[in-house]
């Protein structure tokens, strides 16, 4: 059953423990994000079918799911929690603040040993705070460099493997009249993703090997200096300044045949194919060769302790994370599975050959530092400021330094 859960809708125990010792009926409430792009493939349909199967085998448990757009779902959950009426489960983009406030069950509290052990190791680690897993990975994606095959053929190009080759290819595409030789979306929608992809390809990242913020590292400054001077400064990123270009607009332009190259995730495949664009995909070029790391993104399932339904939530999540259900979700929405068994099944299947290049990148993927409560503030500042680092006269040293200050201040506040 799919039901809208209002901020006033407390999770309730529908029955009491009888004298015969039978367990009470329980209603579990889940708030989830929508992976669909239309009513026809809304996540409501996925959850409705899954819940129907679960309830058929668990007559004492009722599951109500409220599905919201990604623009709203994190706020909806935050408002419910602040009102003292947390859902039993939430499938959203972050978990660290709730874990830090002591509101969540751990994965150990909920999942059977086989299910918890079945998560891909990098994803399980990304769900930890101080070595304890609170965030259960629900879906994942990685990034590849997409290129327009037709435009490349017309310009006599092969896919780039280094930054220099990428810049040379962009120059050749510009000479052919391509509107966006390389689309660099550093606008407010998802600038933190494009930024991280480039930082990793330059040997840096948001954090160092031990998890300490190092946004203004030498490697990161050199990366953004190269972007400013060799791509943006040469007019190779198109008519819209990177700071004003959102990912959605860059994807739409690629699907219209206006973009030579850009970083993309699996959903771009269908967008481009639907418009008849012939495209190829290669790993992100690095400074001196193929990047040794790629950016991964994960969405999270978390379970709140407020309503006390630990056993019922755990049993439901064990069902959610069965191989069949993980594969169904991944195939339906062009996502990467979060369990080893489902990943192996997808890797072997001819049905999934188009998404396999993204799957192959997952073992190399680095994720946002979502285990830090400071990350939300840092991400917001990246979206706000990073575009100015590559504009004419922009200073990567200054901008990355300001972002490092934001990170340090937020970390200190979290520790206090």
Distances (CA, A) of 135 to 124, 128, 131, 138, 372: 8, 7, 11, 9, 12
Tokens 């206006």 — which residue? Answer: 258
* Cα 154 to Cα 216: distance, rounded to the nearest angstrom: 40
Listed as ranges, residues in the chain with pLDDT below 70 are 1-24, 416
Q: What is the pLDDT of residue 12?
A: 29
Q: What is the pLDDT of residue 142?
A: 94
Q: Helix, strand, coil shares of the chain as percentages rounded to 5?
A: 45, 20, 35
Q: Phi/psi class of residue 90: alpha, beta or left (left: φ > 0; alpha: ψ in -120 to 50)? A: beta
- HSE-up of 269 (CA within 13 Å, CB side)? 20
Closest CA to 92 of 301, 326, 348, 286: 301
Q: What is the CATH number of domain 26-140+297-367?
A: 3.40.190.10
* Cα 288 to Cα 317: distance, rounded to the nearest angstrom: 44
Structure tokens at 2: 């799919």
Quick one: how far is CA 171 from the chain centroid?
Answer: 31
User: What count of residues does the chain have?
Assistant: 416
3-class secondary structure per residue, 285-332: EECCCECCCEEEEEEEEEEECCCCCHHHHHHHHHHHCCHHHHHHHHHH
Q: What is the pLDDT of residue 416?
A: 67
* Cα 147 to Cα 247: distance, rounded to the nearest angstrom: 15
Q: What is the pLDDT of residue 85?
A: 96
Query: What is the dihedral angle through the alpha carbons of 362, 110, 24, 52, rounded to the nearest 10 degrees?
Result: 10
List 367's β-bridge partners, or say none. Answer: 296
The pTM assigned to this predicted structure is 0.85
Q: What is the pLDDT of residue 112?
A: 97
Closest CA to 91 of 130, 37, 127, 40: 127
Check: CB of residue 261 under 8 Å from CB of residue 145.
yes
Structure tokens at 332: 């339906």
List 94's β-bridge partners, or say none. Answer: none
List 286's β-bridge partners, or say none. Answer: 162
Domain boundaries, the chain: 26-140+297-367, 144-283+374-415
Q: Do domains 26-140+297-367 and 144-283+374-415 have the same CATH topology?
A: yes
Phi, psi of 91 (to 5 degrees): -110, 100
Question: Sign of dihedral through CA atoms 167, 172, 175, 180?
Answer: negative
Check: CB of residue 299 under 8 Å from CB of residue 73.
no
Helix (H, G, I), strand (E, B) or coil at 7: coil
* Cα 167 to Cα 171: distance, rounded to the nearest angstrom: 6
Check: CB of residue 108 under 8 Å from CB of residue 116.
yes
Q: What is the pLDDT of residue 1?
A: 31
**Residue/partner pairs of 220-227 with CB below 8 Å, 24 or more apart:** 220/396, 220/400, 221/396, 221/397, 221/400, 223/198, 223/199, 223/287, 223/396, 224/198, 224/386, 224/389, 224/390, 224/396, 224/399, 224/400, 225/396, 226/163, 226/202, 227/184, 227/198, 227/389, 227/390
* Cα 329 to Cα 322: distance, rounded to the nearest angstrom: 11
Fold of 144-283+374-415: D-Maltodextrin-Binding Protein; domain 2 (3.40.190)
């Amino acid at each position: 059953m799919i039901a809208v859960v209002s901020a006033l809708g407390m999770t309730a125990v529908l029955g009491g423990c009888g004298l015969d010792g039978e367990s009470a009926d329980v209603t579990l409430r889940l708030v989830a994000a929508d992976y669909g792009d239309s009513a026809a493939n809304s996540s409501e349909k996925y959850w409705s079918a899954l819940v129907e199967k679960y309830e058929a085998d668990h007559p004492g448990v009722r599951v109500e799911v409220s599905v919201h757009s990604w623009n709203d779902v994190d706020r909806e959950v935050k408002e419910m929690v602040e009102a003292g009426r947390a859902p039993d489960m939430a499938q959203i983009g972050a978990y660290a603040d709730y874990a830090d406030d002591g509101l969540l069950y751990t994965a150990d509290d909920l999942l059977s040993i086989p299910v918890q052990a079945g998560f891909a190791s990098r994803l399980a680690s990304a769900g930890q705070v101080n070595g304890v897993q609170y965030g259960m990975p629900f879906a994942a994606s990685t990034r590849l460099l997409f290129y327009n095959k037709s435009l490349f053929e017309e310009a006599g190009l092969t896919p780039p493997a280094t930054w220099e080759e990428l810049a040379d290819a962009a120059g050749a595409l510009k000479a052919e009249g391509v509107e966006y030789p390389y689309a660099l979306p550093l606008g407010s929608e998802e600038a933190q993703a494009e930024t991280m992809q480039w930082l990793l390809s330059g040997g840096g990242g948001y954090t160092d090997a031990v998890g300490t913020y190092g946004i203004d590292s030498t490697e990161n400054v050199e990366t953004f200096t190269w972007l400013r001077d060799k791509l943006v400064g040469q007019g190779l990123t198109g008519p819209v300044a990177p700071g004003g270009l959102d990912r959605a607009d860059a994807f739409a332009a690629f699907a219209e045949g206006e973009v030579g190259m850009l970083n993309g995730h699996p959903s771009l495949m269908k967008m481009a194919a639907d418009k008849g664009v012939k495209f190829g995909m290669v790993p992100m070029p690095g400074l001196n060769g193929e990047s040794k790391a790629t950016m991964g993104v994960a969405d999270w399932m978390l379970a709140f302790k407020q309503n006390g339904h630990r056993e019922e939530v755990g049993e439901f999540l064990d069902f959610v994370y069965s191989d069949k259900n993980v594969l169904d979700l991944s195939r339906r929405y062009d996502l990467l599975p979060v369990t080893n068994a489902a990943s192996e099944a997808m890797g072997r299947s001819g049905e999934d050959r188009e998404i396999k290049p993204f799957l192959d990148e997952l073992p190399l993927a680095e994720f946002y530092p979502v285990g830090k409560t400071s990350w939300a503030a840092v991400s917001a500042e990246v979206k706000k400021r990073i575009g100015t680092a590559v504009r004419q006269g922009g200073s990567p040293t200054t901008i990355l330094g300001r972002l490092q200050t934001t990170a340090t201040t937020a970390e200190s506040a979290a520790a206090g």
